[in-house]
Amino acid sequence: MASLQSSTSFEGNLRSFELYFKALVNRDVTIEEYASEEEAHYPDTSTTIRLPRSPGISKRGFYRLALAHRALHFDLGSFDLELAKVREPRAKGGVTSTGEGARDLEVFFSAFSDVQLAQLIFEIFEDARVDVRLPILFPGLEDILKSASAIELQARPGWGELAPRKAATEFLLRKSLDPSIELCPSVIRNSAEKLSAIFGSIDLQEATVEDVAIATIRAYAVISQLPNLGVIDASELELIGAGDSIRSVASLWPSRWPEGRRARIEGDDVLLLALPSVSYRGSLSSFFTQAPTASGPDHQAVYRMSYSSELDEDAAEAPARSVVTGPPEPLPHDHHDVSRHLHHREEGELRSQGPSTFVYPEWDVYINRYRNNWCRVVQRQPLAPTSLERSSLQIRYANELRRLRRIMDIPASQAFIVERRTSSGSDIDYDAAVDAMIDFRVGGAIHDSVYQDLRKKRRDISVLLLLDISASTAERVEGAEPIELPLSPEVAPHPKLRPPRILDIEVISSLLCASVLSTVGDAFSIWAFSGTGREQVVLSEIKGFNEPLSGVVVSRAAGLKPIHATRLGSAVRHCGMLLSKLQSETKVLLVLTDGRPYDIDYGTGYGEEESLSYALEDSDKALSEIVSAGIEPYVITVDPSGEEYISKFRSVRPALLNDVKDLPERLLRLYKGLLDRNVVKVARHASHANALRADNEPSEKVSGS
């Protein structure tokens, strides 16, 4: 009970810490707590500071340290960079203010090709500058700072979990926590020596933010040259040498300055570098919001996050305790981390690795032939969903189902036909019973085929719906019906509503189709795909053709996460193989995608611009292959700029959806059109068969008469 009272008392003291921060820097903020083990807590903003509930040391001392550190960023001018003072005599070019109202710090970051990496390096140096000044200005916090730094060093990720570029940045961060650190993995030793020299070249006690900016440029020149794929061999650590003296750092500068803006393409956000933050330091990222960002593909950013204060008519059915709200700033990009899989690179032709893997060729337009056994498709179950993800999906699923079933306008009775004159059944066939009684009275043969039964119609159509779950499907859809945001109770004690992601709408659309069509007996399957290099194109079966729509299917759908890129060609070939095994006369592949085909090695060896043509040509070739196999492909894209590339498809006429919110209705109307066409086709075949029988039967009857 005493500990509970103590905890409650501390909760009440959060207001005193807010006043403490205002006294330091004259800023009003709200302090929120998050669970220390919760990785997805919101970042700090100009109005909200978020601190761990259990920091590992004295909570009161830790909070004083964390708030003092954040306050010093304002006092030491971390955000008041003056570009005119960022001068380097040996620099190859420079950056000047645009004069268009942008802060100099934002203009500075815009000069980097990888803005996110530059911001991270700048933040490390600035945090180190603050750490050096903090014990001087706040002597009472010196011991707490030492304890917090030691705890943070022990909690850093292992070297063997990092790619080379990430490992070099991690070395720089550890150096900022303890300048005496000299151990690093051998593979990054040369880079670590340069970074150590850069770190030692600035006097952090006297350095200005402009000095930090110059150090950022030099460190960026070193780190950006390292690959950010794979993981390093951390079995041996080496001491860094003195090969790079402080005087030698002047030669460290990007070869081109400012750097040219590289094209942002879908899926490359998985290559962006991010490190676990230092809890007492927080993060400066939200203060760079107006600077150009590398966190996602520009032409793929279909719908930005937004927050609505009003619910539409359908959303009114949500629980009253949920409100449309959330942090005032967007959360980090919401996609599943697959970078741990990227280290597995293979050369030449690939081989199958078990019953759940399949190898397919890929069309290379530049050599005008197939690359045999070039892509490996891996069938994998989706990740298990949380209970909140599953329940929020089911709530939305129920709300939409009633409206969209009316759009389909297919009575359930059309799914069955009456089978007459059967030996058993659910009802009596009165015509057959009368005939049987007449036969009995006149002494004819007695039979028991006097029943009728309902038999499910066998529609001669099978449809496979293929969902693109690449990274850009994590974008939130403005104006769409809000859904519950799955967050830990430690972060959000009460469920909140937020606009759905593109992925959510894709999933809801597919489940609605499956639900509506299950009443009419059509063969319908749902698959999801994403690419992570040619060695691993992942396809997940959400619903099989012969599988009923059940809670299991809904759970699989709720577990889908936005992953990496769109290697469309391999996914189409695999789905074509699945459809080719069916006996249906009409086989249809529906592809839902939100962007152009792309993967980290999808023709990128020919160049950045050429990779677009390579990916489009391979995708179009795959579509033409399934057309030749008697499968009808349809492609629906919700990318507003999709007209630029889908018009190049020759094997299919893709549909461009201007508003992703219309996807469920558009998909069902398209499917209804397919059904109507199939009914006409079946009727024609039946008419043709009747005509053939009519041609053969009359002569026999005449001769018999």
**Does residue 635 belong to any structural domain of this protein?**
yes
- Lookup: tokens for 704: 């018999």
Distance separating alpha carbons of residues 174 and 158, to the nearest angstrom: 12
Distance separating alpha carbons of residues 155 and 177, to the nearest angstrom: 12
Whether pLDDT at 73 is above 70: yes
- Lookup: tokens for 657: 């959806």
∠ CA 52-54-56 to the nearest 5 degrees? 110
DSSP per-residue string spanning 523-552: EEEEEEEEESSTT-EEEEEEE-TTPPP-HH
Distance separating alpha carbons of residues 324 and 152, to the nearest angstrom: 36
Whether pLDDT at 381 is above 90: no
Token look-up 């996602």 returns 296
Whether 500 and 648 share a structural domain: yes
Whether 652 and 528 share a structural domain: yes
The end-to-end CA distance of the chain, in Å, is 104
Q: Tell me, what DSSP letter sits at residue 276?
A: P
What sections of 290-357 are H helices per DSSP? none
**Does residue 315 belong to any structural domain of this protein?**
no
Distance separating alpha carbons of residues 21 and 65, to the nearest angstrom: 11
Note the pTM of the prediction, 2 decimals. 0.51
**Does residue 5 belong to any structural domain of this protein?**
no
Please give the share of the chain, as a percent, with pLDDT higher than 70: 69
Give the residue-averaged pLDDT of 614-633: 93
**Does residue 675 belong to any structural domain of this protein?**
no
Distance separating alpha carbons of residues 251 and 238, to the nearest angstrom: 25
Is 326:485 a contact under the CB 8 Å cutoff?
Answer: yes
- Lookup: tokens for 354: 């078990």
**Does residue 176 belong to any structural domain of this protein?**
yes
In single-letter form, the type of residue at position 444 comes to: G
Residue 575: predicted pLDDT:
95
Q: Which residues are bridge partners to 31 per DSSP? A: 49
Give the residue-averaged pLDDT of 303-320: 32
Whether 392 and 281 share a structural domain: no
Helices (runs of H) and strands (runs of E) counted in the chain: 17, 18
Whether 514 and 620 share a structural domain: yes
Whether pLDDT at 426 is above 90: no
Q: Which helix (H) or strand (E) covers residue 104, if one does? A: helix 104-109
Whether 400 and 437 share a structural domain: no
pLDDT bracket for residue 327 (50, 70, 90)? very low
627: left (phi over 0), alpha (psi -120 to 50) or beta: alpha
Give the residue-averaged pLDDT of 366-394: 78
Is 315:183 a contact under the CB 8 Å cutoff?
Answer: no
**CA nearest 330: which of 301, 354, 350, 358?**
301
CATH at residue 361: 3.40.50.410
Cβ count within 10 A of residue 549: 18
Whether 420 and 484 share a structural domain: no
Q: Number of C-alpha atoms within 13 angstroms, CB side, residue 534? A: 25
**Does residue 619 belong to any structural domain of this protein?**
yes
Q: How far is CA 88 from CA 264, 271, 349, 439, in A?
A: 30, 30, 49, 110
Distance separating alpha carbons of residues 571 and 358, to the nearest angstrom: 11
**Residue that wins the pLDDT comparison between 270 and 58:** 58
Residue 299: predicted pLDDT:
30
- Lookup: tokens for 56: 């590992």
Residue 652: predicted pLDDT:
83
pLDDT bracket for residue 425 (50, 70, 90)? confident
**Residue that wins the pLDDT comparison between 216 and 327:** 216
| Contact partners, residue 701, CB within 8 Å, separation at least 6 | none
**Does residue 503 belong to any structural domain of this protein?**
yes
Distance separating alpha carbons of residues 107 and 128, to the nearest angstrom: 23
Which of 35-44, 247-256, 689-698 has the lowest average pLDDT? 689-698
Whether 226 and 363 share a structural domain: no
Token look-up 């409100």 returns 323
Whether pLDDT at 137 is above 50: yes
**CA nearest 521: which of 572, 576, 584?**
584
pLDDT bracket for residue 492 (50, 70, 90)? very low
Whether 286 and 399 share a structural domain: no
Q: What is the average pLDDT score of the chain? A: 75
Q: Which residues are bridge partners to 543 per DSSP? A: 526
Whether 467 and 373 share a structural domain: yes
pLDDT bracket for residue 347 (50, 70, 90)? confident
**Residue that wins the pLDDT comparison between 159 and 472:** 159
In single-letter form, the type of residue at position 397 comes to: Y
Residue 519: predicted pLDDT:
64
∠ CA 176-204-65 to the nearest 5 degrees? 60
Whether 63 and 101 share a structural domain: yes
Instruction: Compute and round to an integer the Cα radius of gyration of the chain.
Output: 32
Domain count, the chain: 3
- Lookup: tokens for 44: 């700090």
pLDDT bracket for residue 312 (50, 70, 90)? very low
Whether pLDDT at 5 is above 90: no
Distance separating alpha carbons of residues 509 and 527, to the nearest angstrom: 13
* Boundary residue ending a domain (244, 270, 296): 296
Whether 513 and 624 share a structural domain: yes
pLDDT bracket for residue 61 (50, 70, 90)? very high
* Boundary residue ending a domain (642, 658, 674): 658
Whether pLDDT at 694 is above 70: no
Residue 336: predicted pLDDT:
44
**Residue that wins the pLDDT comparison between 391 and 240:** 240
Whether pLDDT at 162 is above 50: yes
Is 56:36 a contact under the CB 8 Å cutoff?
Answer: yes
Whether pLDDT at 84 is above 90: no
**Residue that wins the pLDDT comparison between 245 and 614:** 614
**Does residue 365 belong to any structural domain of this protein?**
yes
Cβ count within 10 A of residue 190: 16
In single-letter form, the type of residue at position 268 comes to: D
Whether 538 and 628 share a structural domain: yes
Is 181:175 a contact under the CB 8 Å cutoff?
Answer: yes
Residue 317: predicted pLDDT:
38
Whether pLDDT at 528 is above 90: yes
**Residue that wins the pLDDT comparison between 354 and 696:** 354
Range of the domain at 164: 13-296
∠ CA 560-563-564 to the nearest 5 degrees? 150
| Contact partners, residue 583, CB within 8 Å, separation at least 6 | none
pLDDT bracket for residue 280 (50, 70, 90)? very high
Distance separating alpha carbons of residues 176 and 218, to the nearest angstrom: 16
Whether pLDDT at 625 is above 80: yes
Whether pLDDT at 380 is above 60: yes
- Lookup: tokens for 29: 């903020």
